[in-house]
Amino acid sequence: MLTGKPGTDDRTRERKIMEKASPETWVVHSGEITQATRDLAPPLHPASTFERAENGGYPGKHMYSRISSPAYETLESLLSRLEGGCDAQVFASGMAAGSAVLQALRAEDRLVVPRAMYWGMRNWIHRFADDFKLEVASYPNSDLDAIASLLEEKPTKLLWIETPANPTWEVTDIDAACSLAHRHGALVLVDSTVASPVLSQPLSLGADFVLHSATKYLNGHSDVVAGALIAKCDGEFWQRIRFARTHAGAVLGPFEAWLLLRGLRTLFLRVRAASDNALRIAEALSARPEVSHVLYPGLPTHSGHLVAARQMKGGFGGMLSARFAGGEAKARDVAARLKVFKRATSLGSVESFVEHRASIEGPGTLCPADLLRFSVGIEPLADLLADLDRAIAAR
Ligand SMILES: *Cc1c(COP(=O)(O)O)cnc(C)c1O
């Protein structure tokens, strides 16, 4: 066996340097090396329960993995660091993270939500609110006046923002909306799944909580379903959220947490590559006569472009939608002909997806029938453009 113990001085120096390193370095390294064996890949911790000491205490700090676990504590500290928060909780899915927020509300609490938002969450919020007597009001995503008048109308517990929002990528001014909400005593949650912590930091713009479907960019490889909430600071509402996870029990499994740590290592590279591709694709689609509208916040023609340029740094994300002049039939035909873009739901993976959203969402959808949603991946741009050219030109 090789000896050569790491000197305490070395470890202290390393820790000091790492503390000053950017979150990008932290995720590349999967956090701090804490094991005696100095593994450069994080260990997997499957334990559901932990040994008590003779005096009844828990020297390993953990009791039972529904409450806390080394399986996901590194992940939580990385997410907290990425978003500039004080604490984070990971969940069994993005929906479970959203549900913990709903469970933290009390009957009669008022929730103000955007009109356009991830379809599954929108339906669940309205259904949950009906069953558990929460009051819900909706605002057009980019309309600050509408937010202001809803907040003035009645006391509101929580303002929910999703930006850019599914599937039209409407943008909400986080900074301005947070000022309005805080003036009226409301907390603010931002579903930042689409922007990811690479492009946007809602907590630094005033939000109280950030939600991620970690299934998407954070993991990035279409092989984990997970969610996360990050809090700017501790407080009663955050404690209620923590309580909801512990007791409702929607914790993330150890293997999923481990895969997520692995996916996170390349988060910055992946998001930047997808954003760069998406902007070029949005520009190329805009030039095609078959496409009537391209919805992408990176285009100067998008209604949310200026706000997005202010609150997103280094790109506008990998999500865009296109509407086709030939209507629903043309949109579906294009989706059917694409080969590199896979016909699949979800987003934020390394591979590109296309989806006819209206048919996935079904009756009651707000999504136009002539719209295709693209989750742009990290494949070489030329392959993606050639695939689109071939599918759109065909008749
Ligand atoms: C996918 C998604 C969710 C739900 O997350 P799951 O991990 O699928 O449960 C929530 N918000 C947005 C914006 C999403 O794209």
Report the separation in Å between the CA atom of 214 and the middle of ligand 1, taken as the mean of its atom positions: 8
Give the other-Cβ count within 10 Å of 24's Cβ: 14
How large a percentage of the chain has pLDDT more than 90? 91
- pLDDT beyond 90 at 275: yes
Domains and CATH numbers, the chain: 21-32+61-264 (3.40.640.10), 267-393 (3.90.1150.10)
Give the other-Cβ count within 10 Å of 276's Cβ: 18
> Tokens representing 219?
């993991």
Catalytic residues, by residue number, are 66, 118, 191, 216
Q: Which of ligand 1's atoms lies nearest the C-alpha of 166?
A: 13
Tell me the per-residue pLDDT of 365-386, one tens digit each, with 9 for 90 and over: 889 999 999 999 999 999 999 9
State which of 124, 215, 219 you would mutate to test the pocket of ligand 1, scoring each by most atoms of that ligand within 8 A of its C-beta: 215
Is 26:74 a contact under the CB 8 Å cutoff?
no
> Tokens representing 99?
């549900």
- CA-closest candidate to residue 121, choices 161, 174, 74: 161
Q: Where are the extended beta strands (E) located within 124-226? A: 135-139, 158-162, 187-191, 209-213
pLDDT, mean of residues 344-357? 97
Distance of CA 197 to the CA centre of its chain: 8
pLDDT for the residue numbered 19: 87
pLDDT for the residue numbered 94: 98
Report the separation in Å between the CA atom of 94 and the middle of ligand 1, taken as the mean of its atom positions: 5
Report the separation in Å between the CA atom of 118 and the middle of ligand 1, taken as the mean of its atom positions: 7
Using DSSP bridges, classify how beta strands 319-324 and 291-295 pair: parallel, antiparallel or unpaired: antiparallel
Report the separation in Å between the CA atom of 230 and the middle of ligand 1, taken as the mean of its atom positions: 15
Tell me the per-residue pLDDT of 44-71, one tens digit each, with 9 for 90 and over: 999 999 999 999 999 999 999 999 999 9
Using DSSP bridges, classify how beta strands 158-162 and 187-191 pair: parallel, antiparallel or unpaired: parallel
Q: Which of ligand 1's atoms lies nearest the C-alpha of 348?
A: 15
- pLDDT beyond 80 at 334: yes
Q: Which of ligand 1's atoms lies nearest the C-alpha of 121?
A: 10
- pLDDT beyond 60 at 252: yes
What band does 4 get if pLDDT is binned at 50, 70 and 90? low
For the stretch 282-291, contacts whose Cβ atoms lie closer than 8 Å and that sit 24 or more positions apart, written own/partner, are 282/320, 284/385, 284/388, 285/320, 285/322, 285/388, 288/392, 289/325, 290/324, 290/325, 290/326, 290/330, 290/392, 290/393, 291/322, 291/323, 291/324, 291/325, 291/392
Residue with CA nearest ligand 1 atom 4: 94
Give the type of residue at 33. I
Tell me the per-residue pLDDT of 125-157, one tens digit each, with 9 for 90 and over: 999 999 999 999 999 999 999 999 999 999 999
- pLDDT beyond 60 at 100: yes
- pLDDT beyond 90 at 340: yes
pLDDT for the residue numbered 312: 98
What band does 1 get if pLDDT is binned at 50, 70 and 90? low
Give the type of residue at 324. F
How large a percentage of the chain has pLDDT more than 70? 98
Distance of CA 221 to the CA centre of its chain: 14
Instruction: Report DSSP letters for 231-247, one per residue.
Output: ESS--HHHHHHHHHHHH
- Phi, psi angles (nearest 5°) of residue 137: -130, 150
Which DSSP helix (H) or strand (E) runs through 29?
none
Q: Which of ligand 1's atoms lies nearest the C-alpha of 225?
A: 7
pLDDT, mean of residues 334-342? 98
pLDDT, mean of residues 93-112? 98
pLDDT, mean of residues 288-314? 98
Residue with CA nearest ligand 1 atom 1: 213
State which of 118, 162, 211, 217 you would mutate to test the pocket of ligand 1, scoring each by most atoms of that ligand within 8 A of its C-beta: 118
pLDDT for the residue numbered 32: 82
Residue labelled with tokens 């989706």: 335
pLDDT for the residue numbered 33: 80
d(CA 194, CA 319): 7
pLDDT for the residue numbered 160: 98
pLDDT, mean of residues 92-118? 98
Q: Output the ligand 1 site: residues, CB below 6 A.
A: 93-95, 118, 120-121, 162, 166, 191, 193-194, 213, 215-216, 225, 227, 347
d(CA 182, CA 143): 17
Mean pLDDT taken over the chain: 96
- pLDDT beyond 80 at 2: no
Report the separation in Å between the CA atom of 145 and the middle of ligand 1, taken as the mean of its atom positions: 27
Report the separation in Å between the CA atom of 357 and the middle of ligand 1, taken as the mean of its atom positions: 14
